[in-house]
Structure 1
Amino acid sequence: MRLIGNLLWIVIGGGIVLFVEYLIAGLFLCVTIIGIPFGIQAIKLSLLALLPFGKDVVQTERGSGCISTFMNLLWIVTGGIVISITHFIFAVLCAITIIGIPFAKQHLKLASLSLTPFGHSFS
């Protein structure tokens, strides 16, 4: 079921577009030394945006420190809230139809992770 869901996500759900957008943003962020941690998180988000079915978002043990809280606040201020709202809007649009409900769930998963990516991982 994961394979079918991921294939449909890439073709219909916009997975390839999300992957390319997150990847390009991550590579641009990695150009500067200050942006490298943010670029790495964007590249991780791109991998999750390409194949989201069958992956769960979990909080890491070291993710509750003050550094990841500071990085999450910086991420939210510089664009994380816009990305999260975009995923939420796509989730609402997908949830209008019964066929789009699994895609809406994946957009909600990506919305929560794109709001606070530091201190979380997916497996």
Structure 2
Amino acid sequence: MNETNELPVPLPDDDGSALVGSKLEESREWVINTYRKHQKVKTSSWLDNVLGEGPRAKSYVLPVLLDTNPIRHRQSIQEQVFPAPRIIHEDLLMTDQMKVMLEAGCGMGKTTFLKYYQEQL
């Protein structure tokens, strides 16, 4: 030790390293994503039991339109974590002022659904 009593390791100038981050489990997004991840596994196993293993070219799941409000518009934390969309019973072609948007990835069957919907009328 020298006479000035300096520490052998210099301390950082800014105090940013002393801040402790919040736990991941306290994040609302983490809770919602974890719930969805577990639900995806349950849904996949249920579909495997109902439709059977192997190629599903002859298995047809009846399409159901669900009204899903964005998560940020939900009123309570329970509705944000456990979203419960309602089934749309209204005729989609008779909507005067309501806009209908089908959200799905490429190749998910939006056009097939619309053709099937028109055939059922």
Q: TM-score, normalised by structure 2?
A: 0.23
Q: Which has the higher contact order (CA 8 A, sep 6+)?
A: 1
Higher helix proportion (structure 1 or 2): 1
